[in-house]
Amino acid sequence: MKLRVPADNNMVYRSGLPCGRSLRVREFLLVALMFWVGSVCAADFVFDLDAVAKANGTILSRGAAGEWVMQPSAERRSIELPGVGAGVPWDRAGFLVLEVGHENVFTTRLVFEFLTRAGAEPEMTVGIATLPLLPTQVIFPLEELTKEHISLRPQGRQLTSQMRGRPLDRAAIVGVRVRLQPFQAPEALPKLTVRSVRLTDAPPPPEPAPEKPFVDAFGQWNRKDWPGKTSDENELRAALVALRERAAQGRWPENWSRFGGWKEKRFEATGYFRTQHDGRRWWLVDPEGCAFLSVGPSIITPSTVSRYAGLENLFAWLPEKDGKFGAMRDTGSINFLGVNLARAFGDKWNDAWEAMTTGLLREWRFNTLGNSSAERLMNRREVPYAFRLGMRQHRYPATERLIFRDFPDVFAPEFEANAKVYAQRLEPRKDDPWMIGYFMTNEPEWAFGKHNLALELIRKAPPFHAREALGTWLRERYRDDVSRFNASWGVRWESFDTAHTWVMPGAKPSPTQEADLWAFSMVMVKRFYAVPAAELRAVAPNHLNLGVRYAYVSSDLCYAGAEVFDVFSLNSYNMPGPVPTGEIATRTSKPVLIGEFHFGALDRGLPSVGLRGVATQEQRGFAYANYIGDAMGRPEIVGAHYFQWNDQTITGRSDGEHYNIGVMDVCHRPYEEFTRAFAPIHEAMYEIAEGTRKYRLQSVTAMPSINTNQ
């Protein structure tokens, strides 16, 4: 039975209660009581799409067959769902669920903007990607709006999700805008069919299996054919055996050292990698004293994650857990990279992969194993490597209570103790000359956006050791004059020790409060790096601290603590070259390393281009050469690492990423049009850096990303 609310509320309430259009007083009180105790557990709140479609500027309309369709245009970009004040229980429901599907050949993302004030910017923005050519239930747990995540593990057939903003009060939601990405005419014009939009107390059951498997036996997308797609096991075996034989001939140029450095420019040799400024530009210096610029893919590994938990009915084949490929399958995922290597090379597949990979790196003139590459490959000591810390049991030092997202209580003894444990991860590699250096961690989540960490600290209930440090810092800042402090802050603290327990009211801080807390945030970030960096330096004094691979420089906090780095690293998905990096070098007096960049296309095996896209595989090669040519022409840049060695898989890794960004596909077939760009630009990069050669940009057609805010 349905209780319809006025059409301008744009929703319908469904309940299992026996009620008619008008409720008697007793029944009304019963319903009210049930809401009060939160016991309406199986309710659906279904939005009235007829009413939504009548709103001004909406992208929702009826299709030719009577189905609901969302299709943006230059003039119309979203639909809007009403808020709590219109009777929609955003504050009580468990999940937002959209039943959708689309025939686009590219992945489409739904972007939800949660508004808490009419006409204001959204308090929280959530983007959830969906696979093409497959009915999908987009499921968002509404309780996540009150948390500090920046991404969620995908549910069912949905893929990547990103969250931006601060936790919000669900009862304050005044509306929710829904947009589609990507949108770029004429290359990417999304069209989404909508079966329903509703709020539920429990997630819906999985969708039924499609008529045809969505993923084939090799982990490839089964809805599309393309040149180079593997059709059977014999073809796979022949291709990989031939690739191994070809790779055995891989050599670096004669004017490169055994570490991949440039013999034509030399500095003092120390036996380890170091940095050097020659008066004109920064360089890395290899153990033999040769000038070195670092280029190489990241995640060079024979292991990948292809999600299958809850998606079993999409696969043409999954290995038996105790069968031939059982070791390639763990809880919820399968390693198709390993399976396909084992099909070609048998039990010695890992040895064959290592030899093949080392040879290809040399053929393509890569001289670095980038972030998160296989340690077995590092241990061969044939290609220099950048080591990633902050993983598994040796994760970046944390504390039980976090100040904001992943930012720990940096003044806690627990933080110092964990820093000692963390640094021991370097012990086995402390004397290895092939290690260029180490990344302390990867893309710290607290740095996504400009966030005043000390403000977040005093918005949370005690205890925190950082609160005690704040009290001491404020005492010094205000010269132990609490009256002066109270006048500046507009508060009535009895002493500076009040900082230990005082919780900032929800109101926006005053300019003075904001400035003081921002200054203490700088103090905390410096300690966030200084304590672990000292422990790392004690264990491995001869190796370079390569920084933390910021996702981007979101605020001045990213510069705090940079004095402990030898190299400032950030990931830069940009075209034609990295984001401007001169200011970084000026402010830090450090060279810059690009930890990640990539380009994808839609003409081969996956429906998403990643964070930067172009039209074809050949243009991926042009874009790669443009990026390296631009980067190495900058005096502050000493390297750029490509993300990543293999494509991701069609159902996505653990966070749902499923991008055509690899040097080769899931069957280890190189994208030849892409890879032919590598050797020429890498052979030229030292002369470009030295200033004796100019690079000329090549033309590419940019394609939109599902992850770019539009």
CATH of the domain at 357: 3.20.20.80
Whether residue 163 contacts residue 141, with contact meaning beta carbons closer than 8 Å, is answered with no
Joined together, the tokens standing for residue 217 give 């036996």
User: Looking at the structure, do residues 45 and 136 belong to the same domain, yes or no?
Assistant: yes
Which residues touch 235 (CB under 8 Å, ≥6 apart)? none
The answer on 487 and 382 residing in a single domain is: no
pLDDT score for 151: 86
Let me know whether 94 and 39 are in one domain.
Answer: yes
Q: Are strands 44-47 and 192-200 parallel, antiparallel or unpaired?
A: antiparallel
Q: Which of 43, 34, 39 is nearest to 3 (CA)?
A: 43
Predicted local distance difference test score (pLDDT) of residue 76:
85
| Residue 670: strand pairing partners | 664
Q: Range of 495's domain?
A: 451-522
Contact indicator for 385, 378 with CB cutoff of 8 Å = yes
Query: Is 692 inside any structural domain?
Result: no
Q: Is 343 helix (H, G, I), strand (E, B) or coil?
A: helix
3-state secondary structure (DSSP) of residue 274:
strand
Looking at 169, 184, 200, which one is the last position of a domain?
200
* Burial environment of residue 462 by CB neighbours within 10 A (0 to 12, 13 to 18, 19 or more): middle
Say what the pLDDT of residue 17 is.
31
152 and 295 part of one domain: no
* Pair 50, 18 in one domain: yes
Write out 158-196 in H/E/C secondary structure: EEEEEEEECCCCHHHCCEEEEEEECCECCCECCCEEEEE
SS3 content of the chain, % helix, strand, coil (to 5): 30, 20, 50
E strands, 142-279, in order: 158-165, 175-181, 192-200, 262-266, 274-277
Instruction: Provide the pLDDT for residue 331.
Output: 80
Rounded Cα distance between 260 and 109, Å, is 41
Alpha-carbon span 594 to 245, nearest angstrom: 32
Nearest to 359 by CA among 519, 244, 232, 463: 244
Whether 207 maps to a domain, the answer reads no
Give the single-character DSSP code of 133.
Answer: S
CA dihedral 197, 198, 202, 206 (to 10 degrees): -20
Task: State the CATH number of the domain containing residue 90.
Answer: 2.60.120
So what's the pLDDT on residue 11? 38
Distance CA 140, CA 161 (A): 10
C-alpha span between 329 and 320 (Å, rounded): 8
Residue 458, domain member (yes or no)? yes
DSSP string, 566-622: SSEEE----SSSPSP-HHHHHHH---EEE-----B-SSSS-S--TTSEESSHHHHHH
Q: Is-cis flag, bond preceding 182, omega within 30? A: yes
Q: Decide if 657 is inside a domain.
A: yes
- Do the Cβ atoms of 473 and 411 come closer than 8 Å? no
3-state secondary structure of 700: coil
393 in the same domain as 503: no
> Which amino acid is located at 79 in the chain?
I
Q: Hey, is 492 helix, strand or coil?
A: coil
User: What secondary structure does DSSP assign to 425-472, as a single string?
Assistant: GGGGGTT-TTEEEEES-SS-GGGSS---HHHHHHHSPSP-HHHHHHHH
Query: Is the sign of the CA dihedral 532, 538, 540, 541 positive or negative?
Result: positive
33, burial (CB in 10 Å: exposed 0-12, middle 13-18, buried 19+): exposed
Tens digit of pLDDT for each residue in 551-590? 999 999 999 999 999 999 999 999 999 999 999 999 999 9
Question: Do 540 and 481 belong together in one domain?
Answer: no
Whether residue 150 is found in the same domain as residue 287: no
Domain end residue (candidates: 504, 522, 540): 522
Residue 60 domain-assigned?
Answer: yes
Residues 6+ apart with CB under 8 A from 529: 440, 548, 560, 561, 562, 564, 565
- Report residue 191 CA to chain centroid gap: 26
Q: Tell me, yes or no, whether 438 and 578 share the same domain.
A: yes
Show the tokens assigned to 526: 């410096």
Inside any domain, residue 222: no
The domain boundary, picked from 175, 200, 225, lies at: 200
pTM metric for this prediction: 0.90
| Contacting residues for 375 by C-beta, under 8 A, at least 6 apart | none
Q: Give 116-142 pLDDT, tens digit per residue.
A: 988 888 999 999 999 999 999 999 999
The total domain count for the chain is 3
Q: Decide if 150 is inside a domain.
A: yes
Which one-letter DSSP state was computed for residue 703? E
Name residue 558's amino acid. Answer: C
Q: Which residue positions in the chain have pLDDT lower than 50?
A: 1-42, 709-710
Same domain, residue pair 490 and 442: no
Same domain, 462 and 570: no
210 found inside a domain: no
Task: Give yes or no: residues 104 and 162 share one domain.
Answer: yes
Number of H helices, E strands in the chain: 15, 31
